[in-house]
Chains A and B, each alone.
Chain A
Amino acid sequence: DVKVTQSSRYLVKRTGEKVFLECVQDMDHENMFWYRQDPGLGLRLIYFSYDVKMKEKGDIPEGYSVSREKKERFSLILESASTNQTSMYLCASIQSGVRANEKLFFGSGTQLSVL
């Protein structure tokens, strides 16, 4: 089965720090996503990428950037962390194109606390 691995399960950072959240998938999926999940708000799409070096903004990209230098790795960057970015961050991937299966595979999530 597909494995999506997020580098940290829990992370505590200080306001103003630059934060990197890493995500790696092992099934050669083209599309990768970053969501944040907050109580009562569900999963909100931050950014997605449909190919190496390609990125598209989701619904809430402000304060975030992403990097996809290799197909298997999709990084989320908080340029200057703020307390309102305290959240659960979830990475996901999906196959597309001729092998599309329309099923998202998620990592276990990173609970980020910004103090």
Chain B
Amino acid sequence: SQKIEQNSEALNIQEGKTATLTCNYTNYSPAYLQWYRQDPGRGPVFLLLIRENEKEKRKERLKVTFDTTLKQSLFHITASQPADSATYLCALGENNNDMRFGAGTRLTVKP
């Protein structure tokens, strides 16, 4: 069966450290993978997209890697801040009609 697994339900780190979140998938052939941020009581907000032929993407303090052999994406937040505390969701797109999400990882950055 198809699965998208985000390995940690919750992750606690100290301010200034790098947070690394993992997204693994099985029985998908995604054209791209996305990461979203969700704050309590709000809808998810798009952060980054990485395509199947890309290895790495960066945006400010965010970095995403995509390994289609391992069927895994890693999402890094460098120099983390308490304001980065939120739930982070990965999503797979095989095409625009079919977007599936992982359960999310709740990140807490402590001052």
- Chain A interfacial positions (CB closer than 8 Å to B): 4, 31, 33, 35, 40-45, 48, 50, 56, 59, 90, 92, 94-96, 100, 102-109, 111
Q: How far is the CA of A42 from the CA of B31 in the complex (A)?
A: 21
1/0 contact trace for B15-47 toward A, CB 8 Å?
000000000000000001010100001111110
A108: chain B residues at CB < 8 Å are 41-43
Indicate if the CB atoms of A100 and B103 lie closer than 8 Å: no
8 further interface pairs, Cβ-Cβ under 8 Å (given A42-B89, A43-B44, A44-B101): A33-B99, A35-B101, A92-B99, A104-B91, A104-B99, A106-B44, A106-B45, A111-B41
Q: A35-B101, A40-B103, A108-B43 are contacts. A102–B93 as well, Cβ < 8 Å?
A: yes
Contacts of B93 in A (CB 8 A): 102
Given A40-B9, A42-B104, A106 contacting B99 (CB threshold 8 A): no
Known contacts A42-B89, A92-B43; A102 and B96 CB within 8 A of each other: yes
Cβ–Cβ contact B97 & A104, under 8 A: no
24 A–B contacts from the bound complex (CB under 8 Å): A4-B43, A31-B97, A40-B9, A41-B103, A42-B4, A42-B101, A42-B103, A43-B44, A45-B100, A59-B100, A90-B43, A92-B99, A94-B96, A100-B96, A102-B93, A102-B96, A103-B34, A103-B46, A103-B49, A104-B46, A104-B99, A107-B43, A108-B42, A109-B41
Residues of B within 8 A of A104 (CB): 34, 36, 44, 46, 91, 99
Is there contact, CB below 8 Å, between A102 and B104? no
A residues near B42, Cβ cutoff 8 Å: 108-109
Instruction: Determine chain A's interface SS by DSSP, over half rule.
Output: strand
* Bound Cα distance A33, B46 (Å): 15
Minimum CB–CB distance from A16 to chain B (whole Å) comes to 28
Q: For the complex, give the distance between the alpha carbons of A7 and B62 in Å.
A: 33
In the bound complex, CA of A90 to CA of B89 (Å): 14
Contact assessment for A109 and B43 in the assembled complex, using a CB-CB cutoff below 8 Å? yes
Residue of B nearest to A97 (CB): B96
What CA separation (Å) do A102 and B26 show in the bound complex?
21
